[in-house]
Amino acid sequence: MINYKKFEPTEYVMKVRKGVTVAKGKGLAFLYNTKTTSLVVVPATSMEASFAFDDVMTSDYQRVCVQGDVSFAIRNYELAAKMIDFSYRDKEVQYKAVLAEAKNRMNRRVINLVRVYVTKFVNAWDVRSAMKNQNVLANELLEAMKGDASLAEFGMEILAISILGILPQPDTRNALEAATREEILRQQDDALYKRRNAAIEQERAIRENELNTEIRVAEKEKEKREREMETKKMLAEREAQLREAKIAADIQIEEQNRKLVELQAENERRRSDAKAYDSEALLRTFTGVNPEVLKALAMSGMDSSALIAKAFVEIGEKADRIGTLNVSPELLETLSAR
């Protein structure tokens, strides 16, 4: 029976007759005899496979669930056709079943290989490191699987791997959450403690600055008082020197006054001695002279007032022998007027 078939550009077709490939390529269209010709159609697009391993053990014996996706494609179509059945069936339903079985086999091989490497890498980490190293795990898986020979035997190549999550078991997650919560609370307490310490340290620095300022002010006050005392001392010394100089000057003046007084007293004494000598000489001259003569000589040189006064003196001397003496007012006024 002769059929015509046109394939899509995403399909790699091999036309085999009697075990020999007579035509191959992407998106071919040709007539073929269904009795003598076999067709092999290999997908030429990338394929996706998802995985979730919930029993992977970490180095600290904690089970984690690793979820992700892997992208792969067939690069060697002829080698893949030898290892996996990609036979084309005329009936669409039969071909879809064959193609689904082929993809299922490829997915199983890729996912089993992913499980092997995931287990190997995760076993080397503790649970906290495994949860943090999703990107590291994806990169290491991609590098390891690209160099794996078992995939090359099937003509497949890994294009990309993404790790969606590495999740611990619920009880482990609760314990980690509790530990993390405690760590966060401890860090919060540490932050509060550090803030308090910083505030205390700042307060101490402020207080220390205030004390240093007070000390400097006290030192300045002390220096000021010492300077004032030194100034007062200098002023007192100068005042004492001035007083001493004044006292010395006063002493000198008094000494000169004393000498002056002594000199004046000596001069007065000498004058008195001279007067006494003159009087004594005068008295010696009048020794033996009649007193009446002396009186007459004395009165000869007196004025009328002196004579009247002398008359009253003699009257007073002889008052015991005078009976009555009348002095008229006119006489006293006349005498007083003189």
Mean pLDDT of the chain: 83
104's torsion region: left (phi>0), alpha (psi -120 to 50) or beta? alpha
Q: Which CATH number fits domain 46-82+93-168: 3.30.479.30, 3.30.930.10, 3.30.310.80, 3.30.1360.120?
A: 3.30.479.30
Residue 285: CA count within 13 A, CB half-sphere? 7
Convert 224-242 to b/e letters by CB count within 10 Å (16 or more is b): eeeeeeeeeeeeeeeeeee
Give the model confidence (pLDDT) of 50-68 as tens digits.
999 988 999 988 999 999 9
Note the pLDDT of residue 285.
58
pTM score of the predicted model: 0.53
Give the whole-angstrom CA distance, residue 112 versus residue 120.
Answer: 13
Ranges of beta strands (E only) in the chain are 2-6, 11-17, 20-26, 29-33, 37-43, 47-57, 63-74, 156-168
* 240-285 confidence digits (pLDDT tens): 888 888 888 888 888 888 888 888 888 888 887 777 666 666 556 5
65: helix, strand or coil: strand
Q: Residue 185 above 90 pLDDT?
A: no
- DSSP 8-state assignment for residue 87: B
Give tens-digit pLDDT for 189-207. 888 888 888 888 888 889 8
Q: Which two tokens stand for residue 261?
A: 């007084």
For residues 201 and 66, give the distance between their C-alpha atoms in angstroms, rounded to a whole number.
49
- Least confident piece of the model among 1-5, 150-154, 180-184: 180-184
**What per-residue confidence (pLDDT) applies to 180?**
75
Residue ranges of the domains in the chain? 1-45, 46-82+93-168, 170-255
Residue of 64, 70, 71, 67 whose CA lies nearest to 122:
64
Q: What percent of the chain has pLDDT over 90?
A: 28
Of 49, 6, 46, nearest in space to 26 by CA: 6
Distance of CA 140 to the CA centre of its chain: 48
